[in-house]
């Protein structure tokens, strides 16, 4: 029986995840290139060991894609599982209580970079598939695709998907790379935000200057950049770039009321972040601001002297990295273009401005009345004994919109993380409860999906 199998192999599942977490697969940093490839090899091996066929590494111009499949019967529906084995850089290392690539358990949680995002989450699928194959078998065909460049924008995945349409043909994409509201409030995200990411450079004088000799007579690029950035958001939390909201789809009052049913405690939110007050776009609640509304945030800003002590300098250049989260129907290329034009337009004549686009991604929303969403709903109901709440997520998984466009397949975001998991932050963690509960929930998805596809009943 499946449940018995899961119980009997619990410890090994965790040990294997620990081995996976020990390999520093930081896709952004070329220092970890070999480790990243080693991680792909590890994943391929585990897919084979789980009983999948044709496990292979597909080379791309970047990090390889791992693919494996189990075709049990051509006439059955096919589930394509997507995940990513790469992780965000672990910096700053000194803020980690235990080292990022030495997984450690504290308070029933696994601490390591990638514990939740996404190693801990995609590995639940590998183990759920192993357990299904070792016991009752699979009620659907399955294809598994685990990539190594999600955290750097899945740059080479578009080409891979376009070149492997036949191989990737499936009826639904299943992804565990998002969060639930709380362990006693399971939820399913029905949308993701898109992303436009730019780097800006403001140049003033041809070199750093003595701030006493030149200060007051030469426009300081760091001062200029701060003023320009500050002007991008007004006091009502609105983004001031002309045309920025033109394609934003406003939700209806009913849709907003539906989303507002999800429990949210603003005081606890503030306490968790040690915030004196929240801030955001006027007219929207905190959960709305962080999911159905677009944003603009400076991710990093630098220039001049930032070392120890004081150096009197008027910098020659100033830089910033800026991300904009997008909602339907905004398009990352259009938004990047609008940003560039506006940023050039607001620059004073004393400086030159350069805008360099980085990766982006389109927003995504999936209907909640589909057979696949219903299958996820039933899986949660059965494994958690609770009705999952539909929510809209604030993060981005660029490949999801691309899957829909290239392959015409919808994605189900069946993630099991929590806000406290500290994704991308020091001391990232993942609850043991979530890891094991996820492994238990996934087989129910297959069961219900296969049943619903056989005889679609009313949701």
b/e 3-39 (16+ beta carbons within 10 angstroms → b):
eebbeebeeebbebbbebbebbbbbeeeebeeebbeb
Residue 307 token pair: 């070392």
Q: Which stretch binds ligand BES (CB under 6 A): 301-309, 311-319, 389-397, 426-434?
A: 389-397
Cα separation of 120 and 299, whole Å?
26
**Minimum distance of Mn ion from residue 205's CB (angstroms):** 39
Q: What are the φ/ψ torsions at residue 208 (nearest 5 degrees)?
A: -65, 140
**Residue 86: which of ligand BES, Mn ion, none does it interact with, CB under 5 to 8 A by kind?**
none
**Burial of 184 (C-beta count, 10 Å sphere; 0-12/13-18/19+):** exposed
- Kindly indicate which of the ranges 139-147, 161-169, 272-280, 390-398 contains the residues binding ligand BES, using the contact rule CB under 6 A: 390-398
Alpha-carbon distance of 221 to 351, in angstroms, equals 7
In degrees and rounded to multiples of 5, residue 182 shows phi and psi of -165, 165
Residue 195 interacts with which of Mn ion, ligand BES, none, CB < 5 to 8 Å by class: ligand BES
Contact region with Mn ion (CB under 5 A), list: 22-30, 174-182, 257-265, 342-350: 174-182
CB of 154 to ligand BES, least distance (A): 7
100 vs 153, which CB is nearer to ligand BES? 153
Distance CA 297, CA 323 (A): 5
27 binds ligand BES (CB under 6 A): no
Of 93-101, 103-111, 392-400, 429-437, the window that binds ligand BES (rule: CB under 6 A) is: 392-400
Identify which of 249, 238, 322 has the alpha carbon closest to the alpha carbon of residue 284.
238
Residue 52 within binding range of ligand BES, rule CB under 6 A: no
- Letters for 123-152 (x = contact with ligand BES by CB under 6 A, - = none) are ---------------------------xx-
What distance in Å separates the CA atoms of residue 314 and residue 214, rounded to the nearest whole number?
Answer: 8
Q: With CA atoms as reference, report the closest residue to 279 among 268, 298, 266.
A: 266
Query: How big is the site for ligand BES, counted in residues (CB under 6 A)?
Result: 17
Print the binding letters for residues 114-143 with Mn ion: x by CB under 5 A, - otherwise.
---xx-------------------------
Contact residues for 128 (Cβ-Cβ < 8 A; gap 6+): 438, 439, 440, 442, 443
Residue 395 binds which of ligand BES, Mn ion, none (CB < 5-8 A, kind-dependent): ligand BES
Contact status: 366 vs ligand BES (CB under 6 A): no
- Inter-residue contact 264 to 291 (CB < 8 Å): no
Which runs of consecutive H residues, i.e. helices, occur in 231-370? 253-259, 266-273, 286-289, 332-345
Query: Which one of the spans 96-104, 173-181, 186-194, 443-451 is the region binding Mn ion (CB under 5 A)?
Result: 173-181
For Mn ion, the closer CB: 177 or 372: 177
Is position 178 an interface residue for ligand BES (rule: CB under 6 A)? yes
Binding segment for Mn ion (CB under 5 A), chosen from 110-118, 156-164, 336-344, 364-372, is: 110-118
Q: Which of 361, 388, 390, 438 binds ligand BES (CB under 6 A)?
A: 361
Residues in the chain: 459
189 near Mn ion (CB under 5 A): no
Query: Is residue 295 part of the contact set for ligand BES (CB under 6 A)?
Result: no
370 backbone φψ class: left, alpha, beta (φ>0; ψ -120 to 50) = beta
* 324/397 with CB nearer ligand BES: 397
421 binds ligand BES (CB under 6 A): no
Residue placing its CB nearer to Mn ion in the complex, 178 or 190: 178
Q: Which residues pair with 214 in a beta bridge?
A: none
Q: Which of 37, 58, 247, 359 lies at the binding interface for ligand BES (CB under 6 A)?
A: 359
Phi, psi of 408, rounded to the nearest 5 degrees: 65, 30
**Which residues of the chain form contacts with Mn ion (CB under 5 A)?**
117-118, 177
**Which residues of the chain form contacts with ligand BES (CB under 6 A)?**
117-118, 150-151, 153, 177-179, 195, 359, 361, 393, 395-398, 423
């Amino acid at each position: 029986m499946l449940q018995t199998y899961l119980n009997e192999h619990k410890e090994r599942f965790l040990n294997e995840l620990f081995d996976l977490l020990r390999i520093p697969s930081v896709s952004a940093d070329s220092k970890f290139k070999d480790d990243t490839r080693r991680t792909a090899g590890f994943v391929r091996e585990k897919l084979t060991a789980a009983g999948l066929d044709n496990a292979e590494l597909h080379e791309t111009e970047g990090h390889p894609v791992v693919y494996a499949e189990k075709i049990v019967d051509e006439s059955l529906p096919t589930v394509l599982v997507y995940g990513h084995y790469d992780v965000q850089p672990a910096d700053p290392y000194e803020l980690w209580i235990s080292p990022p690539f030495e997984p450690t358990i504290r308070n029933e949680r696994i601490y390591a970079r990638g514990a939740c995002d996404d190693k801990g989450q995609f590995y639940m699928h590998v183990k759920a598939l192993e357990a299904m194959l070792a016991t009752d078998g699979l009620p659907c065909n399955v294809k598994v695709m685990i990539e190594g460049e999600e955290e750097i924008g899945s740059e080479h995945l578009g080409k891979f998907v376009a070149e492997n349409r036949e191989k990737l043909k499936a009826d639904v994409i299943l992804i565990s790379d998002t969060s639930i509201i709380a362990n006693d409030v399971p939820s399913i995200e029905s949308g993701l935000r898109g992303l436009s990411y730019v780097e800006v450079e403001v140049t003033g004088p041809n070199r750093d200057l003595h701030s006493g000799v030149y200060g007051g007579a030469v426009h300081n690029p760091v001062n200029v950049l701060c003023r320009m950035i500050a002007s991008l958001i007004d006091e009502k939390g609105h983004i001031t770039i002309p045309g920025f909201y033109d394609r934003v789809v406003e939700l209806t009052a009913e849709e907003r009321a539906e989303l507002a049913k999800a429990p949210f405690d603003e005081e606890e939110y503030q306490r968790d972040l040690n915030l004196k007050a929240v801030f955001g776009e006027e007219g929207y609640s905190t959960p709305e601001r962080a999911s159905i509304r677009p944003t603009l945030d400076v991710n990093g800003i630098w220039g001049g002297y930032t070392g120890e002590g004081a150096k009197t300098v008027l910098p020659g250049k100033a830089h910033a990295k800026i991300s904009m989260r997008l909602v339907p129907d905004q398009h990352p290329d259009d938004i990047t273009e609008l940003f560039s034009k506006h940023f050039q337009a607001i620059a004073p004549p004393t400086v030159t401005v350069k805008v360099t686009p980085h990766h982006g991604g389109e927003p995504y929303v999936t209907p909640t009345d589909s057979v696949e969403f219903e299958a996820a709903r039933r899986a949660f109901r059965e494994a958690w004994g609770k009705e999952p709440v539909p929510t809209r997520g604030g993060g981005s998984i660029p490949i999801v919109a691309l899957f829909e466009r290239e392959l015409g397949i919808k994605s189900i975001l069946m993630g099991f993380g929590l806000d406290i998991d500290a994704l991308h932050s020091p001391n990232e963690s993942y609850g043991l409860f979530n890891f094991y509960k996820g492994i238990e929930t996934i087989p129910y998805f297959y069961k219900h999906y296969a049943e619903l596809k056989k005889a679609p009943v009313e949701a």
